[in-house]
Every structure is written in C-alpha cells, then in structure tokens.
Amino acid sequence: MARRLVLLAAGLALIGVALGAFGLHALALLGTAWVAERWPGRWARWAGWLFVAGIILFSGSLYLLAIFDLGIMGAVAPVGGAAFLAGWACLGLAVWQGGQRAT
C-alpha cells in the first residue's frame, strides 16, 4: 500500500510540475500568438520573445540547478522571471495600443 501511494504521489507531482511550469508558459506563448494576430506590432513581438527568453532562463536554470547542482543557476532564475514580467507588460501594451487604434 505504501509503495502505491509513493508511486502515485511521484506521478502526480511529475504531472503537476510539468503542467505548472511548461503548461502555463506554453499558454502564455499561445496567448501572445493570438494577440499578435489580432493586434500586430512590435509590443506583441517583444512579448513573444520575452516569454521565450523567460522559459529558457527561468525553467532552464532551475533544471540545471536541480540536475547538475550548479549553484550559479540560482542567480539566473530571477532574470528569467524578469523576462516573464516584461513579457506580460509588453503583451498588455500590445492590446492597449491595438485597442486605441481600433477606436
């Protein structure tokens, strides 16, 4: 019974992390693609590239830290987080300016 519970917990944790990390980041990119189609422009392009950079820097650095115990990668993760924040700001600007042009 304990073995089954541990296996179940490990499997659910794997799914939770996979969906939480890559799932949400992929949704941000999908949303950006939709915004870029609806309100094209430089802010939408910037948002997309900043999300890609955030995924690579944030998720990548945490994976390298966990797998190879590279302590310096802990300092890289906040840079990826900042890229995510900048991506959301650019996405908001793209929609805001696109709505301004439509009226």
Which 3 state secondary structure label does DSSP give 67?
A: helix
pLDDT band at 41 (very low <50, low <70, confident <90, very high): very high
Average pLDDT over residues 9-28: 65
Average pLDDT over residues 64-69: 92
User: Among 12-16, 61-65, 66-70, where is mean pLDDT lowest?
Assistant: 12-16
| Averaged pLDDT score across all residues of the chain | 82
Distance CA 70, CA 101 (A): 48
Winning range, highest mean pLDDT, from 6-10, 45-49, 88-92: 45-49
Question: For a pLDDT cut of 90, what percent of the chain falls above it?
Answer: 32
Q: Are 78 and 53 in contact (CB under 8 A)?
A: no
Q: How far are the Cα atoms of 1, 13, 35, 50, 62 from residue 10, in angstroms, in the given order? A: 14, 5, 37, 32, 19
Greater model confidence, 14 or 83: 83
pLDDT of residue 1: 58
Give pTM, 2 decimals. 0.76
